[in-house]
Structure 1
Amino acid sequence: MFVDIYDVVVVGAGHAGCEAAAAAANLGSKTLLVTMSLQNIAQMSCNPAMGGIAKGQIVREIDALGGYSGIVSDKTAIQFKMLNQSKGPAMWSPRCQSDRMRFSEEWRLMLENTPNLDFYQEMVSDLIFENNKVIGVKTALGVTIKAKSVVLTNGTFLNGLIHIGEKQFGGGRAGESAAYGITECLVQAGFTAGRMKTGTPPRVDGRSLDFSKMRVEPGDVNPQKFSYSNQTQPLSHQRDCYMTYTSNEVHDILREGFDRSPMFNGRIKSLGPRYCPSIEDKINRFADKERHQLFVEPEGWNTVEFYINGFSTSLPEDVQFKALRSVAGFENVKFFRPGYAIEYDYFPPTQLKHTLETKIIENLYFAGQINGTTGYEEAASQGLMAGINAHLKVHDKDPFVLRRDEAYIGVLIDDLITKGTEEPYRMFTSRAEFRTLLRQDNADFRLTPKSHAIGLASQERLSRMEYKFNESDKFVDFFKETSVSPQEANSILIEKDSSPMAQADKMFKVFSRPQIVLQDMLRLEKVQDYLQQNNLDQEILEQAEIQVKYSGYIEKEKNNAEKLIKLEDIKIPDNFDYSKIKSMSIEARQKLAAIKPVTISQASRISGVSPADISVLLIYMGR
């Protein structure tokens, strides 16, 4: 039924599991993906969308590394938007609305066409350990599968409990059973477990909605795409989304059900996502607000099912229905299914190394919501990194770790294992101290060469990246080396309320002015001549503009990142005894001993460890 022993066994086929399995198999490991339902691979359990603020950057990083999420998102998108374009490029974030059914289907087809990858539909209920090393898994039917490494990506399924008002029942998501046995096995092995909660809104029948009472939310006029590869193309047509609002009347109806809400009557004790709260949490925390936005999003190209983004709830279904019927455009709404909350087990991620391998059990990796994160993108990126590192470990190769100045993925993993999380962790641009370097437009520059070096990103990917890099670099050099006269430029400068030139100057200096954009520079004859001789696409033009307009900020962040790298180079021995450093605070000693940072830089980011403690540590290490 199976090969004698798999290099990598991935448990769970959500976004983390799919990326983990694809990465390990594409790198050459004999890989098995075990899931309770092969029909629900890469299911979009919550909103049918990929990307968003900081999350879009992560999808582009996954794509640059050779993962599948960007390609699948492009192939199944029904709308595309670049968010935050009124701000600087560090904040630009791609997002697409997806066809939920096609997204899952496309993922399955891509995985089925991936060499070295086997599938098995069953529930894993136990892990097999030997001398603090994982050697396999056992299913609910008693089938033993031998493995050199195991990646757990269990999502919300570990002892999952669904809440709808006073009703509760076991489940990993609507219509699917929970997974049992793994938590108990891990706790017995010495792991610490906790509980978290998340929720989802009702799904409704679009035929029962009055869209004329809502504001249309179209996609971009000239949509882009996620993947840097030529496997996908931007959308030629798109589906609209819509926006409406709650009201005081809606809030009053919802408040009537608070005593029946599991969140308020104490039946749910675990913490939910702070930045994606339920509707009842929003009207309780922001009682002064008269209304909240609701985004009405189609679930696909042809379906009439709609997702009500902003109305996540665990209130009784009759309260949900009554409240939604008071929303403009929803007066005659029909439910496909009510919203619900779900509680599930997770494992505080301070129990992991930067590779996502556990500290207690060798060759065992955790990725996704099991680590306390929320979001498809955060899960997928962890799955990718866990799959890569599981492959590298069993083939005796060096681990693959991304620094905070190299990727949002690096920030995410470092935050998790260094600081831990007590509520579902979601990525934001504000979490990245080097976000000017970690833009969505340059993820291929940052990561494709690294992925190619370990054998994941293809030569074609590397060649495309190098062409884009070289051509944008040459275009920037053209601006630095080419002069422009007052006669050529002043009409444009005056038109843009920028001071006219008194004498000739380099184009770079003119382009650097805050009022001037690429479209202005394209009006200059010398620039037009350059573009006629060099066929540059929109990606290269955009990249060159960013390099010119933000060169000062980029250079400053590079210098700051280099200072951080120096601290990353100072390694702390595995067996370092912090209890001997009496001049360090007790809290710092306890935190350092528990987390076991690998470098001085990581130690400095641990909550409770002060700069003074780091100074003492450096002195004690003889620096």
Structure 2
Amino acid sequence: MFQKYDVIVAGAGHAGCEAAAAAANLGSKVLLITMNMQTIAQMSCNPAMGGIAKGQIVREIDALGGYSGIVTDESMIQFRMLNKSKGPAMWSPRAQSDRNLFANKWREMLEHTPNVDFYQDTVSSLMIKGGRACGVVTGLGHEIASDAVVITSGTFLNGVIHIGEKQFGGGRMAEKAATGITEQLVSIGFESDRLKTGTPPRIDGRSLDYSKMEEQKGDEEMVGFSFLDTKKITPEQQRSCFITYTNPEVHDMLKTGFDKSPMYQGRIEGVGPRYCPSIEDKINRFAERERHQLFVEPEGFNTVEIYVNGFSTSLPEEVQHTALKMVPGFEQCKMFRPGYAIEYDYFPPTQLTYSLETKGVSNLFFAGQINGTTGYEEAACQGLMAGINAHLKVREEAPFILKRSEAYIGVLIDDLISKGTDEPYRMFTSRAEYRTLLRQDNADLRLTERSYRIGLASKERMDKVAAKQSNVELLKGILKDYFAEPEEINAYLETVPSAPLLKKQRINQLLLRPGVGLSAMQKASDKLDQLLEPYDEDTLQQTEIQVKYDAYITKEKELVDKLNTLDQLIIPDSFDYAKIVSLSNEARQKFLKIRPTTLGQASRISGVNPSDVQILMVYMGR
């Protein structure tokens, strides 16, 4: 019934979809197995993509040739560029999505991707021969052979849903859990553990009084995520979100359910996400706060369903509903479905290599929440990298690895495999030490050529990047050669405000002034407007950033060059850490467990001191 595949992807969430698309677009014959063909790319939690650091990840996925940016652009109902009041290293795109349109668009793109086959079934176990993954066994008993397997199980591995004192198996509400894989892998030496996440109740938007809330509109400029020319809604077509707040009465009501809370009664063993806590966790941890912000987010253009961002909970349904009715604007609210917590298996990611291949079984790759991460964006970028590397492994080619200095994706993977995680991992800009280089605006300049060289990014995409790079260099030359006269620019400088010119000055020098922008100067000067007219907004913005922050960018590149020295020093697989008696006991244990591939990775392992790295260098003859 089934042919042999190059790559089998188990699970069709954000990680699985990106993995299948990447491997197939590189030329592998792919089978995507999902428990339900109607929930491909389901937005299980909030109907949004991007945000702080997450938006940078989506732009990196797009720059590499993944689909998440395109799908988001073509299904968004609102767009905002966050942190615009800060420097460009902190700018982060975020889009509110139409939940159904998002999933439908993903399925449509996958169905139009040559080399992707689909099958609705569960994967109950892996076929492993000689320490190598060579296929899967499904719930219906089919043995399907492949050269590589990518597991993207999300929250489905032995998933248990909690609502108050009720608990039942499930990977999502109304969907059964997956069993068998954890038990099989643990039996051959893998380490597994439990994590927990949660979701808020969904509300009937017709029952809300929006006049009691603060309206949050989208941006007037729809930048979007993809570097290609995608079809996006107009600013006028955007749907608004709203903001409201809890209060002491809400908190007191929620506390009445604590004695039935699965979290406080010990029924949940898994650790929850630190940076996206449940509402009961917020009340407990931040007892001094009288209110917490709630974002009232529409789930789409053609539905009244509302997502109450900030009210994640696993308290009993009646407590959830009664407490919500005490929130301004929610007095008459009707609940579509309650919030719940879900507990699931994951495999500590120190068991992986940089390619996301497992150390215990070759040709087996993990991506997404199975590695301890949380969030669609973190899952999608892992899926992309696992799909690429599964394809390359099958063809016996070198893995595709991104360094910490090259991408947020590189930061995420290095953090996971070097440090591990015992709580759901979420990306932040603060995790990236080179964030001046890793901006959302230059992801294409950083990554597209690398992807094009392995055959993933298209020629259309590469040509667009090359043209952008060329235009930026031309424009930098124009700004260096053009002198602004006092009479043409002083009126604008007064509005900034900035000191007026006493004599003519180069535009690139003027841009170094705080608050001075290229587009605003262009509007102030007819002559400058004519010079800049041939260049699009993306090129103008990229040029301004490079000119304005040149000193910082140069300094960070010098730091990267210095620190990359350690990443070029390879540690042999056969290196015997046990013989180095001068290593600290903690460092020796971590080295033996993680087996770092370079001195750079060794230096970033939690608990390893600089003296341990120096000792390693001595023993390696450095």
Distance in 2, matches of 1:187 and 1:179, equals 15
Distance 2:489 2:113 in 1: 54
Aligned to 2:112: 113
Contact in 2 for aligned 1:205/1:304 (Cα 8 Å):
yes
Contact 2:77 2:233 (C-alpha < 8 Å) held by counterparts: no
Q: What is the alpha-carbon distance in structure 2 between the residues aligned to residue 489 and residue 325 of structure 1?
A: 56
TM-score, length-scaled by structure 2: 0.98
Q: Is the 8 A contact 1:356 1:365 kept in 2?
A: yes
The whole-number CA distance in structure 1 between the counterparts of 2:185 and 2:20 is: 22
Q: Distance in 2 between matches of 1:274 and 1:125?
A: 31
Report SS of the residue matched to 1:7. Answer: strand
Contact 1:78 1:235 in 2 (8 A): no
Report the equivalent of 2:479.
Answer: 479
Alpha-carbon offset, residue 603 of structure 1: 0.7
Task: For residue 269 of structure 2, give the secondary structure of its aligned residue in structure 1.
Answer: coil
Deviations 1:229-267 (A, max 9, x none): 123335341001111100000000000110100000111
Offset from partner CA, 1:343-374 (integer Å, 9 cap, x none)? 00000000000000000100000000000000
Hey, what does 2:573 align to over in structure 1? 574
Map 1:67-466 to 2 at 5 A.
67-233=66-232, 235-236=234-235, 237-466=237-466
**TM-score (normalised: structure 1):** 0.98
1:352 maps to a residue whose letter is: L
Q: Deviation per CA, 1:86-127, whole angstroms, max 9, x where unpaired?
A: 110011000000011111111111111110111110011011
What is the match of residue 612 of structure 2? 613
Deviates more, 1:482-491 or 1:383-392: 482-491
The alignment of Structure 1 onto Structure 2 pairs a total of residues equal to: 620
Q: Percent identity?
A: 64
The farther-off stretch of 443-452 and 486-495 is 486-495
What's the CA shift for 1:209? Answer: 0.7
What is the alpha-carbon distance in structure 1 between the residues aligned to residue 486 and residue 332 of structure 2?
64
| Aligned-pair CA distance for 1:432 | 0.3
The structural deviation recorded for 1:494 is 3.9
The answer to whether structure 1 residue 524 and structure 2 residue 536 are counterparts is: no
Give the SS at the match of 2:442: helix
Q: Secondary structure at the match of 1:440?
A: coil
Whether the 8 Å CA contact 1:79–1:235 is kept in 2: the answer is no
Q: Give the Å deviation of 1:487.
A: 4.1
Counterpart of 1:341 in 2: which secondary structure? Answer: strand
RMSD over equivalenced CA pairs, Å? 1.1
Q: Distance in 2 between matches of 1:227 and 1:544?
A: 19
What is aligned with 2:57? 58
User: Offset of 1:495 from its aligned partner?
Assistant: 4.1
Amino acid in the other structure paired with 2:291: R
Report the Cα distance in structure 1 between the residues aligned to 2:519 and 2:121, rounded to whole angstroms.
57
CA distance in structure 1 between the aligned counterparts of 2:584 and 2:373, rounded to whole angstroms: 30
Give the whole-Å Cα distance in 2 for the aligned partners of 1:515 and 1:207.
44
Shift of 1:482: 2.3
Q: For 1:527 and 1:603, how far apart are their aligned partners in 2?
A: 52
Partner secondary structure for residue 315 of structure 1: coil
Q: Give 1:311 shift.
A: 0.2
CA distance 1:316–1:495, change in 2 (3 Å): closer
Q: Indicate conservation of the 8 Å contact 2:245/2:291, yes or no.
A: yes
Aligned residue for 1:377, secondary structure, equals helix
Query: How far apart are 1:76 and its partner, in Å?
Result: 0.6
Contact 2:472 2:542 in 1 (8 A): yes
User: Which amino acid letter does the alignment assign opposite residue 46 of structure 1?
Assistant: C
Structure-2 change in CA distance of 1:233 and 1:466 (3 Å): farther
Taking the aligned partners of 2:315 and 2:216, their CA distance within structure 1 comes to: 28
What's the offset of the Cα at 1:490? 3.6
Alpha-carbon separation, structure 2, partners of 1:383 and 1:612: 36
Q: Report the Cα offset of residue 529 of structure 1.
A: 2.6
CA–CA distance in 2 between the matches of 1:191 and 1:232? 45
Corresponding letter in the other structure for 1:391: H
Separation in 1, partners of 2:81, 2:430: 18
Counterparts of 2:315 and 2:118, CA distance in 1: 38
Aligned-partner Cα distance in 1 for 2:378–2:9: 17
- Secondary structure of 2:154's counterpart equals coil
C-alpha deviation, 1:620, in angstroms: 1.4
Residues 511 and 521 of structure 1 are in contact (CA less than 8 Å); yes or no, is this contact kept in structure 2? no
Is the 2:437–2:553 Cα contact (8 Å) retained in structure 1?
Answer: yes
Which stretch of the first structure deviates more once superposed, 593-602 or 38-47?
593-602
Aligned partners of 2:73 and 2:230 also within 8 Å = no
Q: Which runs of 5+ in 2 are unaligned?
A: none
Distance 2:374 2:587 in 1: 29
Question: Is contact 2:73–2:226 with CA below 8 Å preserved after alignment?
Answer: yes
SS in 2 for 1:307: strand
Deviation by residue 1:253-285 (Cα, 9 ceiling, x = unmatched): 000110100000111121000000000000100
Q: CA deviation at 1:590?
A: 1.1
